[in-house]
Amino acid sequence: MRIELNAGGLSSGTSVATMQDDLGSLVKRSNSMLSAFQLLRQYTYQINGGVGCLQDALNGIEERIQIDDSRAFNIAQTETKVKAFVQLVHTTDSKVADLVKQNHDAFYMVNAWAKPVVAMDAVQLWYSRAMDVLNAAEKIGARQAEQREKVDLDEMSDEELQAYYEEMLLIANDPNRSPEDEARLNDFLDYLSDVDVKSLKYADLADPRMFPNNKVQRDCLKVKYYVALYEPLHENDTKAMNTFFSNYGDGVPESDHWRDEEILAIKYLAYRSPQPQHDLLMKYMPQIKVADFNTVSETGSAASYYDPSDRMIHLNRELFLTHVSGDYHVIFHEIGHNVDDLMYDGGTDETVYNWRYSETTDGAYAERLDQALERDVSKRIWKAIDDYNEDDALFKIDGPGKQQIYDVMVGKSRYEDLNLRLKFAYDLINRNVRSDINRCTASDAYESQTRGNIYQGPHHSAQYWEDEEMDNMEVFSAWFASGICNPEDYERARQLLPETYQTMDEMAEKHLGRSYTNGKWKY
């Protein structure tokens, strides 16, 4: 690396190096001239008889000495500054060379003009031309993407959107579609995939015309169009879902069968679901049956559950359409239990506790999942305890007091055994943790690990968690259903249960037989 000091020179084309030499010569000549005048002055003073008539000449010499002395000083200053400038240039040149050496490729990518020209051999020349072709193709692709973006789907009327959908449907059914049409189709599917199904609680997805030209109708159309476009592209998924919707237990009247709007909504959620939930769904959906749509509990209230004895899900329409977790979440939660059962193909039906993949040692993840759950919940509880002391608490708690509160929180001690101050602190800390898990599917994990002491509801009663066998299976189904139905809730639960969710990711990896790296799945 070299920094050119004279690119064009000093207006006249003189290089800095030449200027340095000239300044040195000028200093020498100036000093010589000054010495000569000083000598002349000395000789003049020594003339016999004094200065006399030479006084005027002597005054002129004195004036010239002063001028040349000032000029010599200025030239010397200039020479010093030029030397400092050249030193700075060389230092900068050295630093730049080091930086270029460290960031060679990145530097030349930004400063192509600085890259030395090197003769290419035949192989290098071929690769260079190939890169030129790829770069040109990339630019063309970018222009095409920019043109696609000019299609403002949000600004289309319902009629225009329908016309565009019909065009995309022809493309979806064309096995010889071009790459550009494939990209347009994928862009359209992305646009259609952002509907919050909970917002369609009172909408008739099968006939959205009852909500003309408003957001509800637009969302209904997006759900309908997404399913219609997805299915020609994914025949196996379509077959799996259609098989599920035709699977009923004995005695289910036709009048209770799946309704058109329910089929559309469930397909929409299943088709756009993330990995690994998507592939677990499609693998096991053909084996899942619905036993009932009017299930009630022993007390007569609406209920939904999975029964391992008949390996069917028992649902209640009133519940899965109005449950606080969101429309259809209950369905996928019970399907999650069914999938958990089917994943463990070595299970039997003798008891309720020997079939779950997430619970059995044969599944290889029960112990790891237990430990991950305990660590995740424990860390959050201890953080809440520590935060209490840091938030200007009315009553500070010491180490033994913290341990007492933790023991009560996880069900190892009784609340009644705390003194008044610790009860006050416990109530605030418990409320703090509950606020974190409010209306989040992570609540199952916190409720199970604290034996209902951190109870958020409404999924299960506090008494439900007295049975430790329920922990893993409920956390698995919560992980499964929230990933499908509520992406925001799913990400929030991952933050509250990082190690637990990572363990379930790996469990699915093992079962599906593919690698999982940094949140991405590879077959």
Task: Give per-residue pLDDT as tens, 96-143.
Answer: 777 767 766 666 666 666 666 655 566 666 667 667 767 766 766 665
pLDDT of residue 348: 43
CA atoms within 13 A on the CB side of 24: 7
Q: Are 263 and 245 in contact (CB under 8 A)?
A: yes
pLDDT of residue 33: 61
Task: Report, as an integer, the average pLDDT of 30-44.
Answer: 62
pLDDT of residue 164: 94
pLDDT over threshold 60, residue 467 = no
pLDDT of residue 10: 44
CA atoms within 13 A on the CB side of 336: 26
pLDDT of residue 271: 96
Query: Of 131-135, 167-171, 324-328, where does the model show the most confidence?
Result: 167-171
Q: How far is CA 30 from CA 23, 38, 80, 118, 131, in A?
A: 10, 12, 16, 49, 62
pLDDT of residue 137: 66
Tracing tokens 């209770």 back to the chain, one arrives at 256
Residue 192: Cβ within 10 Å count: 25
pLDDT over threshold 90, residue 297 = no
Task: Report, as an integer, the average pLDDT of 2-17.
Answer: 49
pLDDT of residue 161: 92
Degrees, nearest 5: CA angle 145-146-148: 60
pLDDT over threshold 50, residue 215 = yes
pLDDT of residue 451: 79
pLDDT over threshold 80, residue 409 = yes
Give dist(CA 147, CA 181) in Å, integer: 12
pLDDT over threshold 90, residue 322 = no
Closest CA to 500 of 378, 417, 415, 399: 378
pLDDT of residue 9: 42
pLDDT over threshold 70, residue 457 = no
Task: Report, as an integer, the average pLDDT of 354-383.
Answer: 76
pLDDT over threshold 50, residue 352 = no
CA atoms within 13 A on the CB side of 116: 6
Q: How far apart are the first and last CA of the chain?
A: 47
Q: Which residue has the higher pLDDT, 257 or 196?
A: 257
The whole-chain average pLDDT of the chain stands at 77
